[in-house]
């Protein structure tokens, strides 16, 4: 069987993609999450992914299917096609080549869009309420969404998130301030996650306080926390305590503990050991 393809030579590829996306939208693609082109190119198809395939000016070749466990799909005219591990562009080219080599279309323009992503997972570890491995339900899923899937940060979680994985075949690591994700002026910090990523929430830094203090113990260091705030967090002074002559044991750059005097306006450092003296009066 030989079909003619009326695709005009030289038609810009971006125009074809734009037209195909509009066709998909009007054919019930409201549940599809579209991503930026650079993110699409980074994605690799995996078993469980649901995809929609369109061939320009050949609506009878439109197919919505799921990648099987062995990474293949069954496509009209050409049969089984292995797409597992391929990027979107490479998968498009493979189907187009099979249609062309089989004599079905002269110059097929194939477009693949992701409907749902189930074959790739992101590991969420550390100080979250439900650590584990979570599937990417939609394309372009962002770090705030995967954290929500993991139940959010636990009470011991730090203000910093560490995202690791691979991008463009290279190792990728990024530290993200959790507050910046939700600021209107820093929305770019809520970055997309891809299959194989690991999101790690470290334990929040702590300090230790003892002496003439109401509740001696270990406490979380809040952002820009001062010694004055540390006293307040630990319940304040006892009746015999004094804010004067406070001492702190802190590790220097070489990791050696040093005894220092502490002022109420000094910032608390991770692993500080604060001692509150007794008043001499």
Q: Please, is 257 exposed, middle or buried when counting C-beta atoms within 10 Å of its C-beta (0-12, 13-18, 19+)?
A: exposed
Q: Between these two residues, 52 and 166, which has the higher pLDDT value?
A: 52
Pairing of strands 198-201, 160-167: antiparallel
Q: Domain boundary residue among 166, 201, 236?
A: 201
Top mean pLDDT of 132-136, 177-181, 221-225 is at 221-225
Query: Would you say residue 25 has pLDDT above 70?
Result: no
196 and 156 assigned to the same domain: yes
Q: Please, is 28 exposed, middle or buried when counting C-beta atoms within 10 Å of its C-beta (0-12, 13-18, 19+)?
A: exposed
What is the CA 264 to chain-centroid distance, rounded? 39
257 and 183 assigned to the same domain: no
Q: Domain boundary residue among 67, 91, 115?
A: 115
Q: Is residue 163 part of a domain?
A: yes
pLDDT level of residue 5 (50, 70, 90 thresholds): very low
Query: Would you say residue 169 has pLDDT above 80?
Result: no
Q: Is residue 77 part of a domain?
A: yes
Residue 41: φ, ψ to 5°: -65, -25
Q: How many domains does the chain have?
A: 3
pLDDT level of residue 185 (50, 70, 90 thresholds): low
Q: What is the pLDDT of residues 205-253, one digit of tens each?
A: 999 999 999 999 999 999 899 999 999 999 999 999 998 889 999 999 8
125 vs 153: CA distance, rounded Å: 10
Residue 45: closest CA among 79, 94, 78: 94
Provide the residue range defining the domain that includes 263: 206-276
Q: Is residue 5 part of a domain?
A: no
Q: Domain boundary residue among 160, 183, 201?
A: 201
The three-state secondary structure class of 21 is helix
100 and 133 assigned to the same domain: no
pLDDT at 111: 95
The pTM assigned to this predicted structure is: 0.61
Query: Would you say residue 114 has pLDDT above 50?
Result: yes
pLDDT at 1: 44
pLDDT at 120: 77
Query: Would you say residue 59 has pLDDT above 90?
Result: yes
CB neighbour list of residue 159: distance below 8 Å, 6 or more residues apart: 177, 178, 179, 204, 223
* Whether 277 contacts 240, CB under 8 Å: no
Residue keyed to tokens 């040093």: 258
Helix, strand, coil: what percent of the chain each, to 5? Answer: 20, 35, 45
214 and 258 assigned to the same domain: yes
Q: Is residue 186 part of a domain?
A: yes
CATH number of the domain enclosing 125: 3.10.560.10
Q: Is residue 87 part of a domain?
A: yes
111 and 18 assigned to the same domain: yes
61 and 84 assigned to the same domain: yes
138 and 73 assigned to the same domain: no
């Amino acid at each position: 069987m030989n079909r003619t393809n009326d695709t005009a030579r030289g038609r810009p590829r971006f125009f074809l993609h734009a037209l195909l996306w509009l066709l998909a939208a009007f054919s019930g693609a409201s549940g599809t999450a579209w991503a930026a082109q650079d993110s699409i190119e980074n994605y690799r198809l995996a078993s469980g992914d649901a995809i929609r395939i369109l061939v320009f000016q050949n609506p009878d070749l439109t197919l919505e299917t799921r990648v099987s466990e062995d990474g293949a799909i069954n496509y009209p005219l050409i049969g089984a096609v292995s797409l597992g591990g391929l990027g979107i562009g490479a998968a498009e080219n493979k189907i187009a080549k099979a249609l062309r080599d089989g004599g079905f279309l002269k110059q097929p323009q194939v477009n693949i869009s992701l409907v749902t992503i189930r074959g790739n997972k992101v590991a969420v570890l550390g100080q979250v309420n439900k650590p584990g491995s979570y599937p990417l339900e939609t394309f372009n899923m962002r770090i705030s969404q995967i954290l929500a899937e993991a139940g959010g940060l636990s009470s011991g979680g730090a203000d910093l998130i560490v995202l690791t994985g691979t991008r463009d075949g290279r190792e990728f690591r990024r530290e993200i301030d959790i507050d910046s994700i939700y600021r209107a002026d820093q929305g770019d910090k809520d970055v997309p996650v891809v299959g194989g990523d690991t999101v790690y929430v470290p334990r929040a830094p702590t300090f230790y306080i003892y002496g003439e203090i109401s509740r001696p113990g270990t406490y979380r260091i809040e952002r820009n926390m001062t010694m004055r705030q540390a006293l307040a967090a630990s319940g304040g002074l006892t009746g015999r305590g004094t804010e004067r002559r406070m001492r702190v044991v802190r590790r220097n750059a070489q990791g050696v503990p040093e005894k220092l005097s502490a002022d109420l306006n000094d910032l608390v450092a991770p692993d500080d050991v604060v001692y509150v003296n007794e008043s001499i009066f």
